Amino acid sequence: MPKVKIPKKSVIVDMTAMCDVSFLLLTFFILTAKFRPSESVMVDTPTSRATEQVKEDIITITVDKEGAAYLSLFSTRRVSTLNSLIERYGDRYPSLKTLTPDQINNFGNIETFGYNINQLPAVLSKSKDELTELEKNMPGIPIDSADSQIGDWVNAARATGLDAGLEIPIAIKGDKSTNVIAVKDIIEALRKREIYRFNLITSLEGRVD
């Protein structure tokens, strides 16, 4: 009895729906992705095998390869930090008391701050675009023992969290070729204000088993 041969038919897969889904997903990720902001102070951090992620709401002290220090704060905490600085250290830095409400609000546009406190009135009189341009040539916050302003900034920033029952983490992000004395001065400034806990930001080194 002869075998019955079933004719072969080519399989047609309609990819229209798959293409639509792919483009929808691509559009979704593009619209919802958060791009990493450009850093005004570039540092080449040392490497380590630590894998802990850095939180967003953190006080970051950046030390460049020249030993200059800069302060970065979470966007929602900048204005409250400046108000805390005025309240706590207004008598020490009389220029703080000359700041207008508009200048104080303008501090919220500064992602990384690196100036002497006495320069604040002049800096905060600039527009947002001018502030962005100024960030490329910041002299740094004084950290020497004679005028260690970095400790006052950290104290003011921490107070905004402590008032709400929160302890804001502190991190030091230093360039691997920076002067160790600069980092030592910052740690000493924190110690004088009874701040003994802080993190060191590094780059991931190799594979962690």
3-state SS record for the chain: CCCCCCCCCCCCCCCHHHHHHHHHHHHHHHHHCCCCCCCCCCCCCCEECCCCCCCCCCEEEEECCCCCEEEECCHHHHHHHHHHHHHHHCCCCHHHHHCCHHHHHHHHHCCEECCCHHHHHHHCCCCHHHHHHHHHHCCCECCCCCCCHHHHHHHHHHHHHHCCCCCCCEEEEECCCCCHHHHHHHHHHHHHCCCCCCEECCEECCCCC
Residues near 88 by beta carbon (within 8 Å), at least 6 away in sequence: 152, 155, 156, 159
C-alpha neighbours within 13 Å on the C-beta side of residue 31 = 6
Is 153 within the bounds of a domain?
yes
Is 37 within the bounds of a domain?
no
Above 80 in pLDDT, residue 183?
A: yes
Is 34 within the bounds of a domain?
no
Is 198 within the bounds of a domain?
yes
Q: What is the pLDDT of residues 156-170, one digit of tens each?
A: 999 998 877 888 999
Domain count, the chain: 1
User: Taking the chain, what is the end-to-end CA distance rounded to the nearest angstrom?
Assistant: 66
Q: What is the pLDDT of residues 145-156, one digit of tens each?
A: 778 899 999 999
Can you say whether the dihedral through the CA atoms of 78, 79, 84, 87 is positive or negative? Answer: positive
Of 72-81, 102-111, 134-143, the one with minimum mean pLDDT is 134-143
Domain of 78, in residue numbers:
47-204
Rounded Cα–Cα distance for residues 175 and 200 (Å) = 11
Indicate the pTM of the whole model: 0.74
**pLDDT band at residue 82 under the 50/70/90 scheme:** very high
Is 23 within the bounds of a domain?
no
Is 22 within the bounds of a domain?
no
Taking residues 79-101, report their average pLDDT. Answer: 94
Q: What is the pLDDT of residue 146?
A: 75
Percent of the chain with pLDDT over 90: 42
Is 12 within the bounds of a domain?
no
Residue with tokens 């967003």: 56
Is 63 within the bounds of a domain?
yes
Above 80 in pLDDT, residue 13?
A: no
Percent of the chain with pLDDT over 70: 73
**pLDDT band at residue 209 under the 50/70/90 scheme:** very low
Q: What is the pLDDT of residue 208?
A: 46
Average pLDDT, the chain: 82
Q: What is the pLDDT of residue 92?
A: 92
Contact 149, 142 (CB under 8 A): yes
Rounded Cα–Cα distance for residues 198 and 16 (Å) = 54
Above 90 in pLDDT, residue 23?
A: no
Q: Which of 36-50, 52-66, 113-127 has the highest mean pLDDT?
A: 113-127
